[in-house]
Structure 1
Amino acid sequence: MSKLSTLYPAHVAELQIRAKNALKRDNLQGIVIHSGQELKVFLDDLSYPFKVNPHFKHWLPLVNVPNSWLIINGEDKPTLIYYQPTDFWHKVIELSNNYWNEFFDIKVLSKASAVDQLLPYDKKGYAYIGAHVEVAQALGFDSINPDTLLNYLHFHRAYKTSYEQECMRLSNSIAVKAHKAAKAAFFDGASEYDIQQAYLKASQQTESETPYGSIVALNENTAILHYTALERSVPQVHRSFLIDAGANFHGYASDITRTYSYKRDKFAELISRMDQLMLKAVDGLQPGKSYVDLHINTYRDIANVLHEFDFLTVDAATAAEAGVVSTFFPHGLGHHLGLQTHDVGGFMADERGTHVNTPDNHPFLRTSRVIESEQVFTIEPGLYFIDSLLSDLKQSKNGDMIQWENVDEMRRFGGIRIEDNIIVHQSHNENMTRDLELD
């Protein structure tokens, strides 16, 4: 933790500057950030797993403490209202002495409903940031999640401090270790469910602690982009395996995907070729360049792969121009990564929140923003054999552009996606995932 403690003061100082600038723009006195509260299951006394407000965990590494609050004005030491009830039903997370404590004026709250005694009395100049609008209204806040304030904060959140970058390296380290365990389980012939258990055991995180539900898919299931069914039975034969899974460290996400073939076959060759394509796309992450252009260039590169492997009856350029590639690559190249798996600010041209539209023929892009240093991205090109999309293409005017016999041969393998997590520096790209020897 020594490196984190060294980097943390500059992180808080940067957030203070951002808060001060945002408050000045909106003529506000301060920001009150609510960590959130547990949500009850409908008609039940059970709660969903708690997910903390990302604006709250931006300031300090508390991800599992509901009913807590931050009061910030950009100049004075922020106030942390830390919820620590007396409770014999549940384990109470007691306030610990850590590297971040000295940067906050900490007040312990024992009863959630008594928080108004610790919040500013006159809330007219304070903006509430959080999910629970009804709570904010009951407490007397008039300014609740104002767009201008959120736009400023979201735009600047794309620039990761050195502290944040280190948290993301550690998040990748956890996930890479777990990915290696999942890979071993696949080649040992395990089921999807058992592979997932191997992943979680190696990561030492529960399903609710990981940043998103893991995609653990075998054979044809790898063609389902957000597959989470986790079949318990072992398939008769193992052909292919796709795992899209991450980890959390202090609230910062990693998001890594790998695809494997059980044998050294044509699908394995296709995976290797897509890996080369993916690393080329990583090299294209350069400050000042357009992420949209990078996506389009990769789209054309996938057309080349389709041509190389005899999936096309036309040249790659013709297939790309006709939009045929979208059947095999129906999603965007990647996205911003940080406090959230799909981090905010990806479509913003400026701090006012001016939206940068994506091209009409590439509607599923998750970012359209210009690439800049200190931003963190995923790069995740894919190539899939999805029955429904192939059926639509076969019946379309472009159906004769496909070598259907060769494509049909690959349906049983499902699809390929390979994803790394990249920090863009001014002089180079840092591939956090590959640096940890995951290939």
Structure 2
Amino acid sequence: MPNPDALLYARHIEHRREEIDSILAELGYDGLLIHSGRPENRLFDDSHPPFRAHGPFVALVPQPFAADSLLEIRPGRRPTLWFCQPDDFWHMPPKAPADWLADPLDIEIVSSPEQWHERFGRQRALAVIGDERALGELLDGADLNPPELMWRLDEIRTRKTAFERDCIEHANRLAVKGHMAAARTFREGGSELEIHLAYLAATGLDQDMLPYNNIVALNDHAAVLHYQFRAPERPKSPRSFLIDAGADWRGYAADITRTWTLDEHREFGALIEAMDEAQRRLVDQVRPGRSFVDLHRQAHLAVAAVLEQAGIVDMPPDEQVDSGVSAHFLPHGLGHFIGAQVHDVAGLRDKSGQDLPAPESYPALRLTRKLEAGNVVTVEPGLYFIDTFLEKLKAGEHADRVDWQSVDRLAPFGGIRIEDNVLVSESEPVNFTRQAFAEAG
């Protein structure tokens, strides 16, 4: 029986090769080399941060931890993967690629990058993607990261193939296992560190294999959007728990956020339920032709409605949004593309490569395009009680429209974010995250 992974991947490479061959011919290149990257030591040190391959490489070769490997693409020919498997007694060399990768690729094992350097030096009409510090010897006559080529390659990545969708869906299932274990540990009174370790154990992933650094925030730490620490001490009074944590499957990411509280904190629990309902309604609008900028405004209106209904802000939703009041509670964008990179490429450019910057009113927005079938996006509205923004609101002209006693009661809970990974299809949106939670029970 054919390996389903092999079939999906073979079709993925065939589809991408046709697109890339056309781009190379149009731009006049005889070939394209994509380097996976090379670990670089920290300044004044002999150790380096955890390595992860460059996004353009992983988008074609599902080997996110393969350093100093090279993908060679020549129009009309099977791509060749020059896979670096060094003879190294200091570190464990990477395993050779799985057999199913060999169907659409010619795989050449090399023990050092010098072996493929010799093959490509001084070639003309060649495009190279990677870091100049690692590829200097290849650049005599070759173009490094040519902008016209890069935006075209980024553009084709916005529409995910069946293989890529399968990888993101699988990564969501893996991440959901971690989220459920994290929620249990929170309810048992665990510390941020204990919750994080429970997440790793449930997913079977080491910290360095995650697509991004987990955000594990208890109580008011949830008001720090990218909270980076994991306190080992158990909180004396656990109130709330926000976890933004993902998983990796063959180089593709899941990016999921959930917020939890305990049964006795009914006011904050009601806010979580209202935000969850609002997020579901936003997901239902993730359809072809929909402007993500408009969807972001709908998110502000939804959060403003939650604030009004909870009695926190005494203003109609549209007035909150137009006056900027809602931005004090939702300071980030609604979402972004996701794929081989967590914040995947081309979110701020149109299909012709022209810049589509975020509007002045929404400077943190990472996606400004109209959605197309095949896009995979995150949908992550939030409602936070952040001191910096609350102080500005309190000093502004709309301070008397805010119930500051409610704010004072809720501020120790930090905030709420609900995030799903959603496929834009020709019909109904496909919510990989909710599906994974439903399957996990």
1:247 is paired with a residue whose SS is: strand
Q: In terms of mean alpha carbon deviation, does 227-236 or 88-97 score higher?
A: 88-97
Tell me, yes or no, if the aligned pair for 1:319 and 1:401 is still in contact at 8 Å: no
Equivalent position of 1:167 in the other structure: 167
1:437 is paired with a residue whose SS is: helix
Whole-Å separation in 1 of the counterparts to 2:73 and 2:188: 52
Aligned amino acid, residue 166 of structure 1: D
Structure 1 segment 409-428 matched on structure 2, within 5 A: 409-428=409-428
Structure 1 segment 114-193 matched on structure 2, within 5 A: 114-119=115-120, 121-130=121-130, 132-141=131-140, 142-193=142-193
| Pair 1:86-2:92 in alignment | no
Tell me, yes or no, if the aligned pair for 1:331 and 1:364 is still in contact at 8 Å: yes
Q: CA deviation at 1:7?
A: 1.2
Equivalent position of 1:109 in the other structure: 110
Structure 2 spans left out of the alignment, 5+ residues: none
Whole-Å separation in 1 of the counterparts to 2:65 and 2:316: 53
Equivalent position of 1:34 in the other structure: 35
Q: CA deviation at 1:255?
A: 0.2
Q: In terms of mean alpha carbon deviation, does 295-304 or 88-97 score higher?
A: 88-97
Q: CA deviation at 1:137?
A: 2.8
CA 1:294/1:96 → structure 2, altered by over 3 Å: closer, same or farther? closer
Whole-Å separation in 2 of the counterparts to 1:23 and 1:430: 33
Whole-Å separation in 2 of the counterparts to 1:401 and 1:310: 10
Tell me, yes or no, if the aligned pair for 2:85 and 2:111 is still in contact at 8 Å: yes
Equivalent position of 2:287 in the other structure: 286
Q: CA deviation at 1:197?
A: 0.3
Equivalent position of 2:201 in the other structure: 201
Q: CA deviation at 1:94?
A: 3.4
Tell me, yes or no, if the aligned pair for 1:239 and 1:263 is still in contact at 8 Å: no
Q: In terms of mean alpha carbon deviation, does 243-252 or 11-20 score higher?
A: 11-20
Whole-Å separation in 2 of the counterparts to 1:323 and 1:204: 43
Q: CA deviation at 1:96?
A: 4.1
Equivalent position of 2:316 in the other structure: 315
2:208 is paired with a residue whose SS is: coil
Q: CA deviation at 1:115?
A: 2.5
Aligned amino acid, residue 356 of structure 1: L
Structure 1 spans left out of the alignment, 5+ residues: none
Equivalent position of 1:371 in the other structure: 371
1:80 is paired with a residue whose SS is: strand
Structure 1 segment 46-65 matched on structure 2, within 5 A: 46-65=47-66
Tell me, yes or no, if the aligned pair for 2:38 and 2:134 is still in contact at 8 Å: no
2:272 is paired with a residue whose SS is: helix
Whole-Å separation in 1 of the counterparts to 2:178 and 2:199: 5
Whole-Å separation in 1 of the counterparts to 2:188 and 2:428: 38
Deviations along 1:145-194, one digit per CA (max 9) or x if unpaired, are: 00000000101101000011001111001100110000000000000000
Equivalent position of 2:397 in the other structure: 397
Q: CA deviation at 1:408?
A: 1.3
Q: CA deviation at 1:97?
A: 4.2
Aligned amino acid, residue 140 of structure 1: L
| Pair 1:75-2:71 in alignment | no
Q: CA deviation at 1:53?
A: 1.1
Equivalent position of 1:259 in the other structure: 259
Equivalent position of 2:305 in the other structure: 304
Aligned amino acid, residue 259 of structure 1: T
Equivalent position of 2:228 in the other structure: 228
Q: CA deviation at 1:2?
A: 3.1
2:290 is paired with a residue whose SS is: coil
Equivalent position of 2:276 in the other structure: 275
Equivalent position of 2:17 in the other structure: 16
The normalised TM-score by structure 1 is 0.96
Q: CA deviation at 1:357?
A: 2.8
Equivalent pairs, count: 436
Whole-Å separation in 2 of the counterparts to 1:58 and 1:317: 41
Tell me, yes or no, if the aligned pair for 1:336 and 1:367 is still in contact at 8 Å: yes
Q: In terms of mean alpha carbon deviation, does 230-239 or 401-410 score higher?
A: 401-410
Tell me, yes or no, if the aligned pair for 1:4 and 1:166 is still in contact at 8 Å: no
CA 1:429/1:74 → structure 2, altered by over 3 Å: closer, same or farther? farther
Deviations along 1:15-60, one digit per CA (max 9) or x if unpaired, are: 1012112212221111111111111122222122111011111122
Q: CA deviation at 1:319?
A: 1.6
CA 1:2/1:107 → structure 2, altered by over 3 Å: closer, same or farther? closer
Q: In terms of mean alpha carbon deviation, does 254-263 or 314-323 score higher?
A: 314-323
Q: CA deviation at 1:104?
A: 1.8
Q: CA deviation at 1:364?
A: 0.9
2:422 is paired with a residue whose SS is: strand
Q: CA deviation at 1:282?
A: 0.1
The normalised TM-score by structure 2 is 0.96
Q: In terms of mean alpha carbon deviation, does 403-412 or 171-180 score higher?
A: 403-412
Deviations along 1:387-416, one digit per CA (max 9) or x if unpaired, are: 111011111222222111111110011100
Moved over 4 A (4+): none
Aligned amino acid, residue 321 of structure 1: D
Deviations along 1:354-408, one digit per CA (max 9) or x if unpaired, are: 1123221111111001111111010000000011110111112222221111111
